[in-house]
């Protein structure tokens, strides 16, 4: 599976760990940056990953910043993106089952590496349940809001 990943400076150490884990699982990873520890702006990386996921260039996205919140806000500005901040594997599983989330966001200052890895595995390993949940997702589409 192809996964797009990005982070700002605060999320870089966690991104590096998640990227290595994704590669060891056999996934192709599209790294949208950042690559250095200098201060940078999280929306730039959220947008880069969201564009790849929305265009179908990547099946899923992973974003890391200090809290995960800014990344999720920025990514969710894109149509057809459902970015979620994850703190554990239960949230990861439920956001896939019920919300068909397609970008996992993590806070490097709020979530430990092992917990994030566990949540990422659950996120990628869980399918969308459909059914009544699809009806609800349809109400989130840009055309439903017009």
* Active site (catalytic) residues: 65, 98
Query: How far, in Å, CA of 65 to CA of 41, rounded?
Result: 10
Beta strands in the chain (DSSP E): 2-7, 28-31, 60-65, 83-85, 103-107
Q: What angle do CA 74, 6, 111 make, to 5 degrees?
A: 85
Please state, as a whole number, how many other Cβ atoms lie within 10 Å of the Cβ of residue 131. Answer: 9
């Amino acid at each position: 599976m192809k996964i797009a990943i990005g982070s700002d400076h605060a999320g870089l150490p966690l991104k590096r760990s998640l990227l290595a884990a994704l590669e060891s699982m056999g996934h192709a990873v599209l790294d949208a940056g950042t690559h250095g520890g200098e201060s940078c702006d999280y929306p730039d990386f959220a947008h880069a990953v969201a564009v790849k996921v929305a265009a179908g260039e990547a099946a899923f996205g992973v974003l890391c910043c200090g809290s995960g919140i800014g990344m999720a806000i920025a990514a969710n500005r894109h149509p057809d993106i459902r970015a979620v901040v994850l703190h554990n594997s239960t949230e990861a599983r439920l956001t896939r089952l019920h919300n068909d989330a397609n970008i996992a966001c993590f806070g490097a200052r709020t979530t430990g590496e092992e917990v994030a890895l566990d949540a990422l595995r659950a996120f990628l390993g869980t399918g969308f349940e459909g059914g009544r949940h699809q009806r609800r997702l349809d109400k989130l589409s840009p055309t439903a809001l017009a």
